[in-house]
Chains A and B, each alone.
Chain A
Amino acid sequence: MENTNTPVTTRRKFINYCLGTSLGATLVATFYPIFKFLVPPPITESTEASVVAAKVSELKPNSGKIFKFGSKPGILVKTPSGEIRAFSATCTHLDCTVQYKEEAQHIWCACHNGRYDLMGKNVAGPPPRPLEQYTVNVRGDEIIVSKG
């Protein structure tokens, strides 16, 4: 009995195996492209190393200005003593864009009340890290900001 049964069971197993793997392969072939489709393709970051952020004449002491640094916002700050500094304007807490608070003389994020001093250091509120600082060069009337 056992001998006659064995080939039948094996055949059934084989067919089940074929059906199972085909079904599995169909599912993978269906859902893998869907899953990959949902993940946005990487976009090459703009490699802009430096930009003209503003004119010296438009920045008064104790003021700030948001400028475009590639696809991201940066902030120029002219301290009360007249020194110009530039930072990334993206708050290190949850990605909002910061602004310069003239009356308090610090950089402020309106979203969760985070504060940075004029060196970009996080001094109050929830931000965990300082703002990334950029290099500032003044050429004639142009303020040139570059990374690093």
Chain B
Amino acid sequence: MNLSAITTWVNDRAGLEPLRALAHKKTVPLHRHSVWYYFGGMTLFLFAIQVGTGILLLLYYRPSAENAFESVQFIMTEVRFGWLVRSIHSWSANLMIATMFVHMFSAYLMKAYRPPRELTWVSGTLLLFIVLGFGFSGYLLPWNKLAFFATKVGTDIAGVVPGIGTFLLRFLRGGDEVTGATLTRFYGFHVAVLPALVTAILFVHLYFVQQRGMSVPPSLAGKPLQTMKFVPNFFLRDLMGWLLALGALAALAALFPWELGEKADAFASAPAGIKPEWFFVFMFQTLKYLPAKIGAVDGEVLGILAFGGGGLFWLLVPFLDRQSAQGKSSRWFTLIGILILLYIVGMTIVGYAE
């Protein structure tokens, strides 16, 4: 039996022709901004690495306050290539968030959210929130000092939300304090709840991308553009991007193995120089600068509400930017996007320079 006979046999039973047609339908427009198209696929590739290395880590990790730190230590010192698997998991998580930010801001600045792609944007923003949830929950799992205090602060922030704060805080912590109960919960979120959510929404996101095709920036819309077939031509280019990402990842993981730090201790002071993960640093730094009281309200409450409002704005951008929706240029939204980007980059740099 040769390959084509096998293909025909499977096809006769599974009916894969529509899928094949769908894959071949897709084309990618070629223009001077096409380079940004690679970052979505790269994020997806890094996510696949997260799933693979995450499953490997599950085989040795033990989610309890007594055992978590020791089990990660065991993975890093005793298990063959354990240090590499954990290091790749941590680095890949960070690279994935970086490529996701690039993908997101390029989509924003090219106004890829304009009709009929509003829901692609909304599903993408939901993926952003889930991925940040992955970062936050995964950070605690090694049960080290930095993670312990980052989780105390992060969950306390949830507790500030008016009305449902106390409920949220207890729900996240599994009690009133950050304890082993919190670790068990975060483990459940990290390996079951969030993966289920991300799979569902990722499927929706990719479905929309496939249905509506690639967006072209407003400045090029309507102009005759060269296109390239996605399968196999652009996909092969995507693969080159993945290979680059894999190379960067392997180099980083091998040359700068992720540290484990010191075991968490509920009766130790927060260490000097404590910081959350880099993608939360801009918010962390903002909270440092807010005064204790702004008017009659605690400064931190206002800050947290402002960030919540910012997240909501980001989610609803396609419905707020009426100019872009009508095919007109929308300088205000470009300016807002650039200012947000500058704020995040600026505050992150200040956070590390201090």
Please report A residues at the B interface, Cβ cutoff 8 Å: 38-40, 43, 66-68, 71-73, 89, 91, 93-99, 109-113, 122, 125-128
Residues of A within 8 A of B300 (CB): 93-94, 126, 128
> Distance (Å) between the CB of A102 and the closest chain B CB?
13
Residues of A within 8 A of B291 (CB): 126
**Contact across chains for B298 and A40 when beta carbons are under 8 A apart:** no
Known: A110-B270, A111-B270. A95 touches B288 (CB 8 A): no
Known: A40-B175, A94-B156, A128-B298. A113 touches B270 (CB 8 A): no
Lowest 6 A-B CB distances belong to which pairs? A99-B269, A95-B156, A96-B270, A110-B270, A94-B156, A94-B153
> Distance (Å) between the CB of B132 and the closest chain A CB?
18
Q: Does B98 contact A (CB under 8 A)?
A: no
Known: A40-B181, A66-B269, A110-B272. A97 touches B174 (CB 8 A): no
Residues of B within 8 A of A96 (CB): 149, 152-153, 270, 274
Please report B residues at the A interface, Cβ cutoff 8 Å: 149, 152-153, 155-157, 167, 170-171, 173-177, 181, 266-274, 284, 287-288, 290-293, 298-300
> Distance (Å) between the CB of A25 and the closest chain B CB?
25
Show 20 residue pairs from A and B whose CB-CB distance is below 8 angstroms, ordered by the A residue: A38-B171, A39-B167, A40-B170, A66-B267, A66-B268, A73-B267, A93-B300, A94-B152, A95-B152, A95-B156, A97-B149, A98-B269, A98-B270, A99-B269, A110-B269, A110-B270, A110-B271, A110-B272, A111-B274, A126-B290
**Contact across chains for A73 and B167 when beta carbons are under 8 A apart:** no
**Contact across chains for A89 and B269 when beta carbons are under 8 A apart:** yes
CA distance A93 to B288 in the complex (A): 10
CA distance A28 to B291 in the complex (A): 45
CA distance A99 to B269 in the complex (A): 5
CA distance A83 to B48 in the complex (A): 59
CA distance A71 to B267 in the complex (A): 9
Residues of A within 8 A of B273 (CB): 110
> Distance (Å) between the CB of B171 and the closest chain A CB?
6
Q: Which of A40, A94, A109 counts the most chain B CB atoms within 10 A? A: A94
Residues of B within 8 A of A98 (CB): 269-270
